[in-house]
Amino acid sequence: MISYKRYDVTEEIPFAQGFFKGWPNPPSEKTHRKILERSFCTFVAVDEEKNEIVGFINAISDGILSCYIPLLEVIEGYQGKRVGQELAKHMLNELQDFYMVDLTCDNEKQSFYEELGMYKSFGMVQRNFHNQNGINPEK
């Protein structure tokens, strides 16, 4: 059974293997935890039988007007089972009082977000791939 809940740093639920698949320079587990801890809001999907986090979504925000969803990840064995949809629904419900909730995604992921009520927009990004594993999490 999969449960969906806010990330709680005190629970220390282990991550399942397989996050950031295909990233040439992925964040370490320590950095991954810092990302979730320091976010405005984070939800996780937990496989209760294995006691592992198998998916997560996070948002960063000014806390007043705008939010950005930088990451939604579900490990491979749980993809196609509506885990990502449930995480996104929890997050979008949590952020419903904000004026803007933005994210960027690849073209092939746009229909996923359209099904959740989001619509296409235009944006610009910069990627410093040499920093893909994150800045020093001790800061």
Q: What is the pLDDT of residues 101-122, one digit of tens each?
A: 999 999 999 999 999 999 999 8
Q: Which two tokens stand for residue 109?
A: 């992921």
**Does residue 136 fall inside a structural domain?**
no
**Does residue 58 fall inside a structural domain?**
yes
**Does residue 137 fall inside a structural domain?**
no
Report the distance separating Cα 20 and Cα 58, nearest Å: 14
What contacts 24+ positions apart, CB below 8 Å, involve 124-129?
Answer: 129/24, 129/25
**Does residue 138 fall inside a structural domain?**
no
Q: What is the CATH number of the domain that holds 69?
A: 3.40.630.30
**Does residue 139 fall inside a structural domain?**
no
The whole-model pTM stands at 0.93
Q: In the predicted model, what is the mean pLDDT of residues 3-18? A: 95
What is the residue range of 117's domain? 2-131
**Does residue 103 fall inside a structural domain?**
yes
Of the candidates 94, 19, 24, the one whose C-alpha atom is nearest the C-alpha of residue 53 is 19
**Does residue 49 fall inside a structural domain?**
yes
**Does residue 53 fall inside a structural domain?**
yes
Structural domain count, the chain: 1
Residue 18 contacts by C-beta under 8 Å, 6 or more apart in sequence? 75, 76, 77
Of the candidates 5, 7, 16, 3, the one whose C-alpha atom is nearest the C-alpha of residue 75 is 16
